[in-house]
Amino acid sequence: DTGVSQDPRHKITKRGQNVTFRCDPISEHNRLYWYRQTLGQGPEFLTYFQNEAQLEKSRLLSDRFSAERPKGSFSTLEIQRTEQGDSAMYLCASSFGMNTEAFFGQGTRLTVV
Amino acid sequence: ILNVEQSPQSLHVQEGDSTNFTCSFPSSNFYALHWYRWETAKSPEALFVMTLNGDEKKKGRISATLNTKEGYSYLYIKGSQPEDSATYLCAEAGGTSYGKLTFGQGTILTVHP
């Protein structure tokens, strides 16, 4: 296992378009997190899963954002009708439980033009 | 305290100096406190995960302490080196019954040769 992988690494899209990101966690990890990071800030919580169950979604997240983890393995994060304010680094992390370290992917940098 | 907060926001030290940062977190529904180091162009990497009040952990020149009753953790770096320059993030697993991982905004450390 080579760790957490995210695809794509970079995405440039026009405002109003839909985008989808993929995260492949470490195989035995049951927890998967999505965060958004903008310049000068720490990772902002978006949502997380335990196996295939989505446990919580940030109240700050609009209905344009949705995430799935259909078989408890990989996850997708979709942003519909992108806005310039969605430009950020989107980070995925996985862990085995809450009391063990989380491993992060390299992130997907989204630029909305 | 309602959120995970870190101080200072940034820190500049000279090579050889010892330094420390603070992480404050809500002390209710606490499960674990994580510290991560995030170097430019890399993914965050875990330093420590602590769960018990009074925990102290050490890795080389870096150590951390945890006080769950008052809701804070300190990270210490002894004899800072330029390669220690990074953003140091703390995260609390807790706040809800599912123990989501919530990050602070980070402390940016720059060690000058």
Residues of A in contact with B93 (CB under 8 A): 98-99
Give the integer Cα–Cα distance in Å for A30 and A94.
Answer: 7
**For residue A91, which of A31, A32, A26 has the smallest C-alpha distance?**
A32
Pick among A30, A46, A99, A106 to test the B interface (most B CBs inside 10 A): A99
Task: For residue range A29-82, list pLDDT tens digits in order.
Answer: 999 999 999 988 899 999 999 999 998 888 877 889 999 999 889 999 999 999
CA B57 to mean position of chain CA atoms: 12
Give the integer Cα–Cα distance in Å for A85 and A1.
Answer: 34
In chain A, the residue whose alpha carbon lies closest to the alpha carbon of B40 is A106
- Find out whether A66 and A40 touch, Cβ atoms under 8 Å: no
8 Å CB contact of B46 and A102? yes
**For position A49, what pLDDT does the model report?**
94
8 Å CB contact of B100 and A43? no
Percentage of chain B beyond pLDDT 90 is: 82
Q: What integer is the mean pLDDT of B83-112?
A: 90
Q: Given a cut of 70, is residue A1 above it in pLDDT?
A: no
Q: Are strands A108-112 and A10-13 parallel, antiparallel or unpaired?
A: parallel
Helices and strands of chain A, counted as H and E runs: 0, 11
**For position A97, what pLDDT does the model report?**
80
8 Å CB contact of B44 and A43? yes
- Find out whether A33 and A50 touch, Cβ atoms under 8 Å: no
Residues 6+ apart with CB under 8 A from B96: A56, B29
Q: Given a cut of 70, is residue B93 above it in pLDDT?
A: yes
- Find out whether B33 and B49 touch, Cβ atoms under 8 Å: yes
**For position A113, what pLDDT does the model report?**
96
8 Å CB contact of A99 and B101? no
